[in-house]
Structure 1
Amino acid sequence: MQLDAADKALIDSYQRGLPVCERPYQAMAQNLGLTENEVIRRLAALKEQKVLSRVGPVFEHSQAGASLLAAVAASPEQMDAAAARINLAPGVNHNYAREHRYNLWFVMTAADERTLKGRLDELEQQLGLPMLRLPMIEGYHIDLGFQIDWEALS
């Protein structure tokens, strides 16, 4: 796969600072000298090629409702089915396997604490597995933007 200068500029320019406006792709396009449709097409192609895994903002989740880190203890035989069921639950993201007794970890969000608790209770019942619930006590910001050395990747 070969990325051209416009792809690289798009990636470099918008790992952070996605425009917050009615038409963010149009604002990005104007900044890069592209059309809005070209930005959308390029982002879709980069995602399809697995150069990008996600396009969207990262926001302070505590300002948008309620969230909680949770984990379940699934046997090796239950792992795939449990992970698939967790992925179907509303508000779930960051679902991943870990080497621990509680081996499937995920974050669930909801509009408020009551809705979150209800969703977690329902999921725990559907899974039939004990669920560890770990509310956030203190938040940390992890910057996931990276300076890319395009020359080294060539």
Structure 2
Amino acid sequence: MDELTQRLLDRFQHGVPICATPYQAMANALNCSEADILLRLEQLQQLGALSRVGPVIEHSKAGASSLVALAVPEPRIESVAEYINQLPEVNHNYLREHEYNLWFVLTGPSRDHLDVILQRIEHDTGLAPLDLPMLTPYRIDLGFSLFSNSQVPL
């Protein structure tokens, strides 16, 4: 991994510029070109070392969210997961080894909106969602020193 990629990873674990041209702003901060940034991000993604570049938003500031679980009979896992995945309010859908085996985060503009979606899920699947709304937000913002000369900003 070249030195520019290392500096990119260290510098932008936090604080990706919020502007019309974030990749150019990143390039300016690292004294390189926007093409250099885009190339390295593409390479990291192709290697499987990077899954996304984007904001982490506290859902309570942008609407409502809830962690939801379903107890899905094994023969229906694929079809129910496919149904859940097509809902625009759903993200972070994953399978667990438990009675409640399908877990996902439901987000929307309001709690009332989430309630409508939960009712629709129950109606369409015949499964009662376990609704676990966030009561207290916690922000866990980790940054790691990845290289010998790392200077991870907070």
Whether TM exceeds 0.5 here: the answer is yes
Residues 84 and 4 of structure 1: CA distance in aligned 2, closer, same or farther (over 3 Å): farther
Amino acid at match of 2:14: R
- Within the candidate set 22, 30, 33, 2:31 is matched to 33
SS of residue in 2 equivalent to 1:9 = helix
Superposed CA RMSD? 1.9
Deviates more, 1:139-148 or 1:49-58: 139-148
Q: Which amino acid aligns with 1:35?
A: S
Aligned to 1:114: 112
Amino acid aligned to 1:101: E
Where does 1:46-85 land on structure 2 (aligned, <5 Å)? Answer: 46-85=44-83
**Correspondent of 1:89 among 87, 90, 93:** 87
TM-score, normalised relative to structure 1: 0.86
Distance change in 2, residues 1:127/1:146 (3 Å)? farther
Deviation >4 Å, runs of 4+: none
User: Distance in 2 between the 1:66 and 1:139 partners?
Assistant: 12
Q: Provide, for residues 98-141 of structure 1, a one-character-per-residue CA deviation record: whole Å limited to 9, x for no partner.
A: 22211111101111222222222223322222210111111111
Q: Which residue identity does 1:146 align to in structure 2? A: F
**Correspondent of 1:131 among 110, 129, 132:** 129
SS of structure 2 residue aligned to 1:95: strand
Measure how far apart 1:30 and its partner are.
0.5
SS at match of 1:41: helix
Listed as ranges, the gaps of 5+ residues in structure 2 are 150-154
User: What TM-score, normalized by structure 2, do the two folds share?
Assistant: 0.86
Equivalent position amino acid for 2:73 in 1: S
Question: Residues 90 and 119 of structure 1 are in contact (CA less than 8 Å); yes or no, is this contact kept in structure 2?
Answer: no
Q: In 2, are the aligned partners of 1:89 and 1:123 still within 8 Å (CA)?
A: no
- The one-letter amino acid of 1:96's match is Y
Cα deviation digits, residues 13-60 of structure 1 (max 9, x gap): 111111122211111010112222332232233123211111101122
Q: Count the aligned residue pairs.
A: 149
Q: What CA distance in whole angstroms lies between the structure 2 residues aligned with 1:120 and 1:10? A: 41
1:78 Cα deviation after fit: 1.8
Percent identical pairs in the alignment equals 46
